[in-house]
Structure 1
């Protein structure tokens, strides 16, 4: 059985780059958390107070002001920087990633309306790394289980997204990508004009995404040179999604799962062949 002891560390490093970028973005636009901002705690707290959430959360509510969140984001940057110097398997590294996970959980209370699949994937990876690297329980087998979970979750995410697109008439007819690029939030004027000029390209791109996402789990079982095609496709897909649509977080969150996919693919190949 193949054991790659540094795979978890590589996953964490890639994810940390994305978290650092998103945290710096929050610091730059921290005023959106002001009383007149889009994510004002005066509004965001209604989700928790109205639904009578656990009183254990209430002591943290005072944190969600502009100065409090700015401090939280600065601390997160320091935690991410610290993880570059302390291995995940060390006690200090585990404490740092645990505090990082706590900062993400706290911030999610006030950013839940602006969160997306990349936030969920990032949180899932962080929690998995925390649980599978606890100093008192950590073992190579437990770390392997964590990498399997991350890889399977990534493949499930792709497959579910692909199937959802497959049942969509807009995606099957080849208009979905052009329609998305035509929006103000995720749009691109140049991309829209290109797809309007070449409608066949839009049909090709739509079906390319549908097929590759739906069959993405095959990358776990195929010989590595063929599995690599899926990862290269995923890299290109997320890269251009980040450039054109501005969804930067998706790129780093899903790239962080690729070392785990590599690990699982090689373990399966080792046992099968």
Structure 2
């Protein structure tokens, strides 16, 4: 029998590893938030109106300095470490994840230009776990709904990404991956050289990603032996994306959804097979 608590805890632990890594990365490069830094609050606050700056943002002004964010990121590390010792369903565990969610929301005001889909997925998972494990409302049915929501959101993300690539001429022609690897930010000279030498490999990789992302939701309905193929593909895809492009946050954010997908697949199997 699959236990809701075990699956939810596994989702949280996998996500926590990724959040700890990304938070330590922020601490290492915290000077980008200094007045002369790339993400200086002097620049970041221009996104907001003067009324917003004077009202709800004003209390955070000092916090969004390099020193203030150093404190916030350090506290976040302690919260994440605490989650490895206190179960999500315990009052302390729920308080820790709630504070973690609050820290993510606050820091997002100063880091929105550097955020990506993995940050959105992480925040979505955190909020879902907080709501579905609220001590006064928590029930097995609510936790089940939370796991379904996480699994469906992951499958939706893959399918939307796959369809978006399908309508892209660069992806259909089989040049997109090589073009991405040729960039300075996400590039790799070795990978670019290989794909230039073997254009067939580039086309294969492009269509492999298009097809697998587009049909990824099938993993919810197929027998587990076949659904596992999609999860193995996803693991390999995100692993090499992290190694080659440096997008390690995507690896942990999406791996955290896989226990929920496993849970939903087995629930579907009980009804279909």
Distance 2:236 2:16 in 1: 20
2:244 counterpart residue number: 244
Could you tell me how far 1:49 is from its partner in structure 2? 3.3
1:262 counterpart residue number: 262
- Residues 27 and 70 in structure 2, CA contact (< 8 A), matched pair in contact too: yes
- Residues 181 and 245 in structure 1, CA contact (< 8 A), matched pair in contact too: yes
Distance 2:158 2:51 in 1: 32
1:99 counterpart residue number: 99
Distance 1:212 1:26 in 2: 32
SS of the residue corresponding to residue 48 of structure 2 reads helix
Distance 1:40 1:49 in 2: 17
SS of the residue corresponding to residue 56 of structure 1 reads coil
- Residues 45 and 53 in structure 2, CA contact (< 8 A), matched pair in contact too: no
Could you tell me how far 1:271 is from its partner in structure 2? 1.9
Distance 1:53 1:38 in 2: 20
2:188 is the alignment partner of 1:188: yes
Distance 1:91 1:172 in 2: 50
Distance 1:190 1:255 in 2: 26
2:218 is the alignment partner of 1:224: no
- Residues 2 and 270 in structure 1, CA contact (< 8 A), matched pair in contact too: no
SS of the residue corresponding to residue 45 of structure 1 reads helix
Give unpaired runs (5+ residues) of structure 2.
none
Could you tell me how far 1:53 is from its partner in structure 2? 6.6
Could you tell me how far 1:56 is from its partner in structure 2? 2.8
**1:62-81 maps to which residues of 2 (within 5 A)?**
62-81=62-81
SS of the residue corresponding to residue 187 of structure 1 reads coil
Could you tell me how far 1:2 is from its partner in structure 2? 5.0
2:87 is the alignment partner of 1:87: yes
Distance 1:266 1:53 in 2: 49
Q: TM-score, normalised by structure 1?
A: 0.98
2:60 is the alignment partner of 1:60: yes
1:173 counterpart residue number: 173
1:42 counterpart residue number: 42
SS of the residue corresponding to residue 37 of structure 1 reads coil
Total equivalences in the alignment: 273
Could you tell me how far 1:238 is from its partner in structure 2? 0.1
2:253 counterpart residue number: 253
Could you tell me how far 1:50 is from its partner in structure 2? 4.4
Could you tell me how far 1:4 is from its partner in structure 2? 3.6
Could you tell me how far 1:236 is from its partner in structure 2? 0.1
Distance 1:202 1:77 in 2: 39
Could you tell me how far 1:25 is from its partner in structure 2? 0.3
2:7 counterpart residue number: 7
Distance 2:130 2:230 in 1: 28
Distance 2:257 2:48 in 1: 31
1:128-153 Cα distance to aligned partner (Å, 9 max, x none): 00000000000111000000000000
Task: Give the alignment's Cα RMSD to 1 decimal.
Answer: 1.2
Distance 2:207 2:50 in 1: 43
After superposition, the Cα gap between the structure-2 partners of 1:63 and 1:264, relative to the gap in structure 1 and judged at 3 Å, is same
Give unpaired runs (5+ residues) of structure 1.
none
Distance 1:53 1:217 in 2: 42
After superposition, the Cα gap between the structure-2 partners of 1:51 and 1:199, relative to the gap in structure 1 and judged at 3 Å, is farther
1:149 counterpart residue number: 149
2:32 is the alignment partner of 1:32: yes
Q: TM-score, normalised by structure 2?
A: 0.98
